[in-house]
Amino acid sequence: MNAGIRSGSGFAPRTTLPVVEAIATRGGLLILAVALFVFLTLPLATLLMRSVEDRAGQFVGLINFVDYLGSAAFTRSAGNTLAFATLTTAITVPFAFVFAYAIQRSCIPFKGLWRGIALLPILAPSLLAAISFIYLFGNQGWLKFVLGALGVETIYGMAGMVLAMSFSSFPHAVMILLAGLALADGRLYEAADSMATSNRRKFLTITLPGARYGLISAAMVVFTMAVSEFGVPKVIGGNTSVLAIDIYKQVIGQQNFQVGAVVGIVLLLPVLAAFVVDSAVRKRNQSLLTARSVPYSPRPDRGRDLVLLIYVVGVSIALLLVIGMAVFGSFVKVWPYNLSFTLHHYTYGFEEAGVDNAWLNSVVMALWCALAGAALTFAGAYWLEKTRGADWLRPPIQLQAMTPTAVPGLVLGIGYILFFNHPANPLGFLYGTMTILVLSTIVHFYSSSHLTAVTALKQLDSEFESVSASLKVPFYKTFWRVTVPVCLPAIADIGRYYFVNAMTTISAVVFLYSPRTMLASISIVQLDEAGAVGAAAAMATLIVVTSAGVSVIFFAVEWWLARRTQAWRRHSI
Amino acid sequence: MATAALLLEGIHKAFGGFVALDSIDLEIHAGELVCFLGPSGCGKTTLLRIIAGLETQTRGRVLQNGRDVSRAPPAARDYGIVFQSYALFPNLSVRSNVAYGLVNRRKGRAQIDARVKELLSLVGLPDSGEKFPGQCSGGQQQRVALARALATAPSLLLLDEPLSALDAKERDRLRGEVRQLQRRLRVTTIMVTHDQEEALSMSDRVVVMNRGRIEQIGAPLQVYEQPATPFVADFLGKVNVLNAVSLGGGRYRVGTIELATSANGAAAGESVRLYLRPEDRVLADSGPVESMPNACRGRVQHVDFLGTYCLAQLEVDAFQGQSLLIYFSLNQSHELGVRDGASITFALRGERVRVFAPGE
């Protein structure tokens, strides 16, 4: 009888299957490796090469570096960049820490609301904050007297840059710190209580060490954002030169690609340093929680909760004020003299500057990034995590997948120009098209999306593929039937992340757009340069509304997907 | 009479509608080691946390050395605690962990150093002060947690399943060490455990708990040999349960035979259950069992080999379908030929039989 089952004709092993699977496995990995190589590594390699050539393309060694690093312009820009990034980090991280602490470790009401408000700046381009601070503290600003009282001469310069950058980077720091403060071992606090420990000592010996990695990580992210920020110094920096502006001037203004490449590489160094520090710290960050730990949950404490609530409300109002200011400014005729309502900035304002196609271009590009980005990123992560064979391809893919974190958008953008604009490049036809904007944006934001996908995939039992192999089901069927449905919320999340970032990003695409593919975020810089601050505010408002609206749609879809495909997550208790 | 080291009066704890503890009264004497033993969810950990002030009882009083600490915060009570997870501060060295409570008391530096050194050698880790908890084995972490709990010389030591995270060998070793240390320091100790072997081997008294109530309090031997309730009989070790009818005067009929016992509480004609442990039998290697009282004959159904012992399931015809678990030492099982299908004669020890009503 047993023999009968074993030799049942319908269950005979299909010998063709492994061959097809092997091709699919290796093929998928190879495509991923080649794509990353062409659209990430080659542009960066071109950048490196051009930095050691002269204008005619002759190898000149490190002369470009020596010239640039020895110049007074460099000393000034490097100093400003360092001061800008350090001040922004020193302001943002403590503010974000107290905010996240209030949400995770106290009993204040409406935590969801405060968290939502804190994350709002993500939906806005960093330029929005710069415009708002000009409205508030600029030459015609409402609150200009505050600057005078503080002894700051003008908002145009370091003060404005740091303020606007702190606003833009705040949600990123808050997100990291919320995660860093989310889990704590409640038993540690109880052990401390049993030894009559003061609140101060508990904070210093348990809370702060527990959040140490989150703090370092948040500081590195904020520092990196500020170092590579282009829009904020451009709009509110006045005469303060920073490295990011220097690159732009060299490449776009003077077509001096060699020096642009040199500045790009110089810019890469602090970001790379931050990246190395962060990964070193992450590696040491073994889980402080064991299976036997009991999660900490805060108990009400009226005094502490009241103080933290006042703080959280204060910060939330400040954040809303900054966004609200730009929105308000976009609807008034002439700030601050004629405050009557108008839609003028949204219509003639755009037309006049020739950027009336920018918003639609941005939406189209963001949609492509969301769809193609989510599909490609997830498929790539799947091939990397869940297939077997062709192991020599995996380390280079992993390395390349994490590289974009350490590459400022500006550097990536110059790399793209140098590579795709090269006369000998058969891919040169991409230059100036929407496709290259989409590709560069996907690559720019690849690392974080890749990690989201890998995390979601790692939660699946690693034996699904083995089980389906033993059942003689090809892996792609399991992919469609199990893996994709289970991971749909994560895939939607990746799509939303790409969309919002595509709407707000400037740094890489500023080198790659053409008049036909002008983007909303870049048009803000142009409008501001042309003195049309109202129209610039209008464009920033449009971006916020669009990313907010699409985020809401994505959340609705995620909720719907969760109901449709995640029924298995609900426990039957 | 001296005041109790710890006195619990009518402790009641409800979580919403769920009653976790129901009027617990308990007196713990100075210097003794008491185990709270019970299945998970019986309320033993909740009771320990109420004693520690980490949980507040709905009703009832906690008195420590005569002082009412019912509403006192943890810091205002006098105890040291070791958690199941140890809860060692991962970022502090072993030395700083042990010194943690001493620093809070603003002791001098030299004094703290001396005390830490003393404690680390007490728990057998004199050279591990500079290590971090993550670099220590489970057993070492457990010792560090113990040293930390004892550092301030508390009058009460609370242990919440302190050995359950360890592997079997390490657990055995630490059982002895903890007990020795506790005896030497004469510190009143309460230990929560679900491991009956641990409770029986370590404590002076065992508090057996079930569903938020105390089932029995007594010395280990007492609760094992004279379980007060069927739950205690069942929870501690293995037990045979036989349906029987009382014939009065301590005699019971099981199936077709009569058993003579020294438990004569039940009136004649009453249906009862007899509880008898697998080791409460006399075997042929110690005399002619056929002529002993309560002699039975059974056929071996199957044998579980448990190391030094075998546990055999015997079908006793006279019991009419009720089978019996009997222990055999390995030697006995060889000498008496205990194997599947073998016929074995034995006598039940009537003086060990416990009798409970069927509904209990």
Q: Please indicate if any CB of chain A lies within 8 Å of the CB of B85.
A: yes
pLDDT 10s digits, A223-269: 999 998 989 999 999 889 999 998 888 888 888 888 888 988 888 88
Among A193, A196, A206, beta carbon nearest to B89:
A206
Residues of A in contact with B92 (CB under 8 A): 205
Q: How many CB atoms lie within 10 A of CB A410?
A: 28
The pLDDT assigned to A287 comes to 52
Chain centroid to CA A399 = 18
Reported pTM = 0.82
CA distance A320 to A328: 12
Residues A530 and A398 sit within 8 Å (Cβ to Cβ): no
If you write DSSP's letter for every residue of A495-528 in order, what string do you get? HHHHHHHHHH--TTGGGT--GGG--HHHHHHHHH
Q: How far is CA A123 from the centre of its chain?
A: 11
What is the rounded CA–CA span in Å between residue A199 and residue B69?
21
CATH code linked to domain B238-356 = 2.40.50.100
* pLDDT tens-digit map of A147-178: 888 888 888 999 999 999 999 999 999 999 99
In the predicted model, is pLDDT for residue A22 greater than 80?
no
Structure tokens at B123: 């728990």
Please tell me the distance from the alpha carbon of residue A160 to that of residue A131, in angstroms, as a whole number: 10
Contact flag A190-B87 (C-beta cutoff 8 Å): yes
Cα-based distances in Å from A189 to A145, A198, A299, B82, B136: 47, 11, 12, 13, 21
Question: A204: how many CB neighbours lie within 10 A of its CB?
Answer: 12
A12 pLDDT more than 60: no
Contact B89 A294 (CB under 8 A): no
Handedness of CA A193, A198, A199, A201 (dihedral sign): negative
Residue B87, min C-alpha distance to chain A (Å)? 5
% of chain A residues with pLDDT over 90: 47
Residue of A190, A194, A202 to mutate when probing chain B, most B C-beta within 10 A:
A194
The tokens of A104 are what? Answer: 């995770």
Residue A383 one-letter amino acid:
W
In degrees and rounded to multiples of 5, residue B151 shows phi and psi of: -60, -40
DSSP conformation class of A120: G
Query: What is the length of chain A?
Result: 573
Alpha helices (H) along B44-167: 44-52, 94-104, 109-122, 138-150
Partner residue facing B87 (CB), from A187, A201, A210 = A187
Q: In a structure prediction context, what are the per-residue pLDDT tens digits for chain B, which is 360 residues long?
A: 567 899 999 999 998 889 999 999 999 999 999 999 999 989 999 999 999 998 899 999 999 999 999 998 888 899 999 998 888 888 889 999 999 988 888 888 999 999 999 999 999 999 999 998 888 888 999 999 999 999 989 999 999 998 888 888 888 889 999 999 999 999 999 999 999 999 999 999 999 999 999 999 999 999 999 999 999 999 998 999 999 999 988 899 998 888 988 887 788 888 999 999 999 998 887 778 788 888 888 999 999 998 888 999 999 988 888 889 999 998 888 888 888 999 999 999 988 999 998 876
**Separation between Cα atoms, residue B118 and residue B124, nearest integer Å:** 10
Q: How confident is the model at residue A465 (pLDDT cuts 50, 70, 90)?
A: confident
Q: How confident is the model at residue A570 (pLDDT cuts 50, 70, 90)?
A: low
Q: What is the pLDDT of residues A356-404, one digit of tens each?
A: 899 999 999 999 999 999 999 999 999 888 877 778 888 889 889 988 9
**DSSP assignment, residue A424?**
T
Q: Phi first, then psi: give them for residue B3, nearest 5 degrees.
A: -70, 145
B37 three-state secondary structure: strand
Residues of chain A found within 8 Å of residue B53, distances taken between Cβ atoms: 193
What's the confidence (pLDDT) of residue A283?
Answer: 73
pLDDT band at residue A572 under the 50/70/90 scheme: very low
Which residue on chain A is closest to B160 by alpha carbon?
A187
Q: Do B74 and A206 touch (CB under 8 A)?
A: no
Mean of pLDDT over chain A = 87
Q: Residues of B with CB below 8 A from A197's CB?
A: 75, 100-101, 104
**pLDDT given for residue A99 in this prediction:** 97
**CB nearest B74 (choices: A193, A288, A290):** A193
Residues 6 or more apart whose CB falls under 8 angstroms from that of B240 comprise B274, B275, B276, B277, B278, B324, B325
C-beta atoms of B81 and A190 within 8 A: yes
Using the CB atoms, write b or e for B73-110: b if 16+ within 10 Å: ebeebbbbbbbbbbbbbbbbbbbbbbbbbbbbeebeee
Contact B85 A198 (CB under 8 A): no
Rounded to 10 degrees, what is the CA torsion of A266, A268, A270, A271? 160
Strand arrangement, sheet containing B6-15: B18-28, B6-15, B59-64, B67-68
Residue keyed to tokens 């048009």: A523
Q: How far apart are CA B297 and CA B344, in angstroms?
A: 6
The DSSP string of B232-295 is HHHHSS--EEEEEEEEETTEEEETTEEEE-S---SPTT-EEEEEE-TT-EEEGGGS-GGGSTTE
Query: Cβ–Cβ of B89/A197 closer than 8 Å?
Result: no
CB burial of residue A112 (10 Å; 0-12, 13-18, 19+): exposed
Confidence of residue A288 (pLDDT cuts 50, 70, 90): low
A205–B104 CB contact, under 8 Å: no
pLDDT at A424 over 90: no
Specify the pLDDT at position A3.
42
Range in A541-545, A566-570, B231-235 with the lowest mean pLDDT: A566-570
Which of B54, B96, B102 is the best mutation test for A, with the most CBs of A within 10 A? B54
Q: Does B267 touch chain A (CB under 8 A)?
A: no
Q: Is B315 helix (H, G, I), strand (E, B) or coil?
A: strand
Q: Look at A194 and B79 and tell me if their CB atoms are within 8 Å.
A: yes
Q: What are phi and psi of B188, to 5 degrees?
A: -60, 130
Angle at A414 between CA A37 and CA A379, to 5 degrees: 35
Rounded to a whole number, what is the distance in Å from the CA of B98 to chain A's nearest CA? 11
Contacts of B246 (CB under 8 A, 6+ apart): B252, B266, B267, B268, B269, B270, B271, B272, B355
Dig out the tokens for A63 from the structure.
């002369």
Out of B85, B91, B148, whose CB is closest to A209?
Answer: B91
Name the token pair of A342. 């108008």
Instruction: Average the pLDDT over A285-290 and give the result.
Output: 55
What would the DSSP string read from start to end of A263-298? Answer: HHHHHHHHHHHHHHHHHHHHHH---S--TT--B---
- CA atoms of B360 and B355, how far apart (whole Å): 10
Question: Which of residues A432 and B44 earns the better pLDDT score?
Answer: B44
3-state secondary structure A299-357: CCCHHHHHHHHHHHHHHHHHHHHHHHHHHHHHCEEECCCEEEECCHHHHHHHHHHCCCC
A256 at interface of B, judged by CB pairs closer than 8 A:
no
Chain B residue with Cα closest to A294: B85
Angle at alpha carbon of residue A374, lines to A469 and A356, rounded to 5°: 160
Query: B267 near B289, Cβ under 8 Å?
Result: no
Handedness of CA A105, A108, A109, A111 (dihedral sign): negative
Of the pLDDT bands very low, low, confident and very high (cuts 50, 70, 90), residue A114 is very high
**CA of A274 vs chain B CAs: smallest distance (Å):** 23
* Cβ atoms A177, A218 nearer than 8 A: yes
Give the nearest partner residue to A191 out of B53, B73, B81, using CB atoms.
B81
Q: Do B75 and A206 touch (CB under 8 A)?
A: no
Q: Which residues pair with B309 in a beta bridge?
A: B329
Read off the amino acid at residue A289.
L
Residue in A188, A196, A286 closest to B104 by CB? A196
Q: What is the reported pLDDT for B67?
A: 92
Concatenating the DSSP letter of every residue in B57-92 gives -SEEEEEETTEE-TT--GGGS--EEE-TT----TTS
pLDDT band at A478 (very low <50, low <70, confident <90, very high): confident
Separate counts of helices (H) and strands (E) for chain B: 9, 20
Q: Do B100 and A192 touch (CB under 8 A)?
A: yes
Greatest pairwise CA separation for chain B in angstroms: 78
Q: Quote the minimal CA–CA distance from B155 to chain A in Å.
A: 13
CA distance A390 to chain B (A): 37
**Residue A145 three-state SS:** helix
Which residue is it, tokens 């996908």? A453
What is the rounded CA–CA span in Å between residue A157 and residue A490?
41
CATH topology of domain B6-234: Rossmann fold (3.40.50)
Per-residue CA distances from B41 to B19, B50, B54, B81, B210 (Å): 11, 15, 17, 20, 8
Using CB atoms, pick whichever of B74, B85, B165 lies closest to residue A194: B74
Whether residue A294 is predicted with pLDDT greater than 80 in this model: the reply is: no
pLDDT number for residue A566: 67
Residue B241 — φ and ψ, nearest 5°?
A: -115, 125
Q: What are phi and psi of A358, to 5 degrees?
A: -65, -45
pLDDT for residue A15: 45
Q: Report yes or no: A58 at the B interface, CB cutoff 8 Å.
A: no
Give residue limits of the domains in chain B.
6-234, 238-356
Contact B101 A195 (CB under 8 A): yes
| Minimum CA–CA partner of A198 in chain B | B104
* Residue reference for tokens 């000009």: A134
- Which tokens is B339 given? 């194997």
Cα–Cα dist A253/A223, whole Å? 27
Average pLDDT of A485-493?
88
A90 pLDDT higher than 70: yes
Q: Give the pLDDT band of residue A5 (cuts 50, 70, 90).
A: very low
Which pLDDT belongs to residue A147? 83
**What pLDDT is stored for residue B262 in this prediction?**
86
Q: Does B89 touch chain A (CB under 8 A)?
A: yes
For A277, the token pair is: 């520090």
Contact A185/B73, CB-based, under 8 Å?
no
Residue A6 has pLDDT above 60, yes or no: no
- Provide the chain A residues 157-196 that lie in CB contact (below 8 A) with chain B: 185, 187-188, 190-196
For residue A24, the model assigns a pLDDT of 77
